[in-house]
Amino acid sequence: MQDTDVYHLLGSGLKRRLRCNGRVRVGLSADPLINKRLTNRLTEPLMTSPFMTLQEIVQQARKRLPRGEWDYLAGAAETETTLRRNRLAYDRLALRARVMSNVSQVQLQRKFLGVDLRLPVLLAPIGSLQMFDAGGGLTSARAAAQFGVMQILSSVCQPDFEAVARECPGPRVYQLYLHGTEDWAMETFARAKAAGYTALCLTADTQVYSRRERDILKRWVPLAARQEGTAQPKRPTHTLQNAMSWELVRRIKDRFGLPMIVKGIACAEDAELAVQNGVDVVYVSNHGGRQLDHGQATLDMLPEVVKAVAGRATVVCDGGIMRGTDVLKALALGADAVGIGRLEVLAMAAGGVPGIVRMLELLETEMQLNLASMGLNAIDQLTPASVVPAQPVGLPGVLSAFPLLAEDYGT
């Protein structure tokens, strides 16, 4: 089966392509609502020619996604102020350029938890990926493996984590929302370790589910928030996610002995507590602006977290990263790697596995060219002195990193 066959499969609406390491399986989605959505609403064909810019990926995703799924991806909590601040923080920094340097070779590789990455980029844990491509988390896994980065698989994705590990083996992280008891969480993490996951992740900034007004105004309920088999919202419940503690983090770390990631760190105080409790990766995040409204931008949080960690743990940062220059700025301020979420899903919606791989290739190209233009030949040469404050040139927004969207290129 050729890669282009996936376009015909999605066009028929009832199948998904499950492909990794040269093996292909085609089957029905586990959720009939997803099958119906893919059949009736994703009517635009996947682009078969290579994307030449990241903007083309965004344009194709917008054409293919229905309004509910688009708003779920593009929206944030309440006034969406935190989302805009995430983007504004990158726009307020300029890159400093040096000359007379040998940039004939530019090195972008970096290790993460002992794994060689082609780029210091992680595919962030995104819930309900199956809304954007029938392969769901497996699509993301295959793309990560094909390109050479690492996936953090969300626990609210289909197929389940064991199926993903079975179909696409390799190093990856399992992120678990604690929607059950501690015994349930321990059993689930034990299964993840047995399935071959090489690190574990807790998301700490989702104690409650925020008010996302784009969804509320349409009376649209995200897939992960629905009662099983219906479009009705789940009833609020109290779970371990509401009562997470550093003691629990320590117990998980001690029991399984795998690298531990805590995602959602937003200040120096919590970064220090994370390190004290055995956390290996301090993941700076505000959930893409989807939880706390009027919060800080993640890039603005990053320097104080890096200072507090003081080299005792790996630091990852996400939130608002849409271009190669954004990655360079985060690395300059001390991140060891970055997570990309919305950009990953845009690429998935635009082109499935090939779309994500192409997005990563374009991100790599932007990083190489801009690092060379700065007079640097390796990402390890980036320091806080590589960036300086600058006046933003436009209004921030979820897609403001693509200013030519306002013009008619590619439409």
Backbone angles phi, psi at 320, to 5 degrees: 85, 5
Pick the catalytic residue: 8, 238, 287, 294? 287
C-alpha 229/C-alpha 146 separation (Å) is 33
* Structure tokens belonging to residue 179: 């929607």
Residue 113 and residue 208 in contact, taking contact as beta carbons nearer than 8 Å: no
Closest to 327 in 3D by CA, of 121, 114, 174: 121
- Give yes or no: 8 in active site: no
* Structure tokens belonging to residue 172: 């990856």
Query: C-alpha 85: how far from its chain's center?
Result: 18
Residue 354 and residue 333 in contact, taking contact as beta carbons nearer than 8 Å: no
Torsion of CA 183, 186, 191, 193, to 10 degrees: -170
Length of the chain: 411
* Structure tokens belonging to residue 101: 């340097």
C-alpha 144/C-alpha 170 separation (Å) is 10
Residue 22 and residue 167 in contact, taking contact as beta carbons nearer than 8 Å: no
C-alpha 197/C-alpha 199 separation (Å) is 6
Looking at residue 291, what DSSP letter applies? S
Tally helices (H) and strands (E) across the chain. Answer: 14, 14
Closest to 326 in 3D by CA, of 87, 97, 143: 87
Residue 275 and residue 247 in contact, taking contact as beta carbons nearer than 8 Å: no
C-alpha 73/C-alpha 53 separation (Å) is 20
C-alpha 364/C-alpha 1 separation (Å) is 28
Residues 109-131, buried b or exposed e (16+ Cβ, 10 A)? ebebbeeebebbbbbbbbbbbbb
Tokens 């009517």 label which residue?
43
Sign of the Cα torsion 37, 41, 43, 45 reads: negative
Residues marked active site are found at 287
